[in-house]
Amino acid sequence: MASAAFEDIADTFEFLDDWEDRYRHVIEIGKAMPPLEDALKVPATKVEGCASQVWLVPTIEAGKFDFRGDSDAMIVKGLIAILHALYAGEPVGSVPKIDAEGELARLGLNDHLSSQRSNGLRAMVERIRVTARNAG
């Protein structure tokens, strides 16, 4: 089962029938994330494979995985917030085992994102998994 934060997002998505409302919700949760300082928006933190500019800065404390992220696109910042809800606070060794594709499919994102956005989302998930594997 996913984290409580991710389950809250899934419940909200279930409640919202219209995809326009779901997109607005994704943007709203993205706006709620603190912005990343410009000093952290460097090539080492940039995620390649995204149409938008995306930066992820992972941290591991007491064996728990977390990250901060940002994007120049509001919808993508919302996708980062969804991934944060899925992964933040998980034991670093569990992160690569999380079925991100399955969890995100519950939200119906695969059917409603452009192919470029879907590719970018996969690139973010892969960056998170590789970072956790290398740290574990």
| pLDDT tens per residue, range 58-115 | 999 999 999 999 999 999 999 999 999 999 999 999 999 999 999 999 998 878 888 8
φ, ψ dihedrals at 69, nearest 5°:
-150, 165
Question: Which residue bears the tokens 């892969």?
Answer: 126
3-state secondary structure 80-130: HHHHHHHHCCCECCCHHHCCHHHHHHHHCHHHHCCHHHHHHHHHHHHHHHH
Domain boundaries, the chain: 4-135
Measure the CA–CA gap between 40 and 124, rounded to whole angstroms. Answer: 16
pLDDT in tens, 37-57: 999 999 999 999 888 999 999
On the question of pLDDT at 1 being above 60, the answer is: no
Tens of pLDDT, residues 12-29: 999 998 989 999 999 999
DSSP H or E stretch at residue 62: none
Task: Please give the C-alpha separations between residue 55 and each of 4, 11, 122, in angstroms, as whole numbers.
Answer: 25, 27, 14
The owner of tokens 């079925």 is 99
Its CATH architecture, for the domain 4-135, is Alpha-Beta Complex (3.90)
Give every CB contact of residue 79 below 8 A, 6+ residues apart in sequence.
26, 30, 71, 109, 117, 120, 121, 124
Would you name the residues annotated as active-site residues?
50
> Bigger pLDDT: 136 or 128?
128
| The model scores a pTM over 0.75 | yes
Q: Judge whether 80 and 10 are in contact, CB under 8 Å.
A: no
